[in-house]
């Protein structure tokens, strides 16, 4: 029979949720801009930008983590400067949030890009001809129509963050209470001869969180689509 979560396991759960939420929020502003540019604009280097955005999907996560370490480690390209101003990413939870944001970023951009491409630009043009400012057009016309893609992408990125392991453990290591998320705690439990029960608890919890995030994504998307269909054109 499974026992309640231990203090360390509960800490890993809340740390995973915090890192997932912060990583997703970090992804949203650049994700919106890049998805809009890829969907609506033609510019030199567009293919290269698209390639870079999707690299975390095809690269081994350990490679992504090592690239983050080379860039943001204390001896990295930017890490030394960041460390000099008191902002350290390697081997702490902020670095884990960055790793999660990068690993979930392609899912967010892809969902948003599909929404931008499906949006009829004539609706925005019509709103502008009626005197709406660009800000009004975005919040009253564009945002409601791309909201299903935004919700889907954000929750997929959050679910990906909850399951992130390779890039995180490479970049920020396995530090209980600081960087030990649910997947890393599960890995640690599996290394212990008596850790099977803890591993099973963490496994079930991880599955429930992932399924819950995907179910919430589907429900919110359908709800927003229903609202859009009922809105007067």
Q: How large is the average pLDDT for residues 150-155?
A: 91
Q: Which domains does the chain have, with CATH numbers?
A: 7-230 (1.10.3720.10)
Distances (CA, A) of 126 to 113, 133, 142, 229: 22, 12, 12, 18
Going by the DSSP 8-state scheme, the letter that residue 139 receives in this structure is I
The contacts of residue 94 (CB under 8 Å, 6+ apart) are 87, 88
- pLDDT at position 215: 87
Q: Which residue has the higher pLDDT, 226 or 45?
A: 45
Poorest-confidence range of 84-93, 163-172, 203-212, 219-228? Answer: 219-228
- pLDDT at position 116: 93
Confidence of residue 8 (pLDDT cuts 50, 70, 90): confident
Confidence of residue 46 (pLDDT cuts 50, 70, 90): very high
pTM: 0.90
Using the predicted structure, report yes or no on whether residue 66 has a pLDDT greater than 90: yes
pLDDT tens string 163-202:
999 999 999 999 999 999 999 999 999 988 888 888 898 9
Q: How large is the average pLDDT for residues 103-123?
A: 93
Using the predicted structure, report yes or no on whether residue 98 has a pLDDT greater than 90: yes
CB 112 within 8 A of CB 154: no
The contacts of residue 92 (CB under 8 Å, 6+ apart) are 172, 175, 178, 179
Mean pLDDT, all residues of the chain: 90
Using the predicted structure, report yes or no on whether residue 230 has a pLDDT greater than 80: no
Q: How large is the average pLDDT for residues 212-217?
A: 85
Burial of 76-86, coded b for 16+ CB within 10 Å and e otherwise, reads beebeebbeee
Query: What is the percent of the chain with per-residue pLDDT over 90, rounded to a whole number?
Result: 63
Confidence of residue 229 (pLDDT cuts 50, 70, 90): confident
- pLDDT at position 210: 85
Residue of 40, 37, 65, 42 whose CA lies nearest to 53 = 37
- pLDDT at position 232: 55
The Cα–Cα gap between 113 and 32 comes to: 8
- pLDDT at position 70: 94
Q: How large is the average pLDDT for residues 51-60?
A: 94
- pLDDT at position 195: 82
């Amino acid at each position: 029979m499974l026992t309640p979560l231990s203090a360390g396991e509960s800490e890993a759960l809340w740390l995973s949720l915090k890192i997932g939420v912060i990583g997703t929020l970090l992804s949203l502003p650049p994700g919106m801009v890049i998805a809009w540019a890829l969907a609506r604009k033609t510019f030199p280097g567009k293919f290269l930008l698209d390639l870079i955005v999707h690299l975390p999907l095809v690269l081994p996560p350990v490679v992504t983590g090592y690239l983050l370490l080379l860039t943001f480690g204390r001896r990295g390209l930017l890490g030394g400067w960041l460390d000099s101003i008191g902002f350290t990413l390697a081997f702490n939870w902020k670095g884990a949030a960055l790793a999660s944001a990068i690993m979930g970023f392609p899912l967010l951009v892809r969902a948003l890009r599909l929404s931008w491409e499906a949006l009829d630009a004539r609706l925005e043009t019509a709103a502008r001809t009626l005197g709406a400012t660009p800000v009004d057009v975005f919040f009253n016309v564009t945002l409601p129509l791309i909201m299903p893609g935004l919700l889907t992408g954000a929750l997929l990125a959050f679910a990906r963050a909850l399951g992130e392991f390779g890039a995180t453990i490479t970049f920020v290591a396995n530090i209980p209470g600081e960087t030990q998320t649910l997947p890393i705690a599960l890995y640690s439990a599996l290394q212990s001869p008596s850790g099977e029960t803890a591993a099973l608890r963490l496994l079930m919890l991880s599955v429930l969180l992932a399924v819950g995030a995907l179910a919430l994504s589907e429900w919110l998307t359908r709800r927003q689509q229903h609202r859009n269909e009922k809105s007067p054109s």
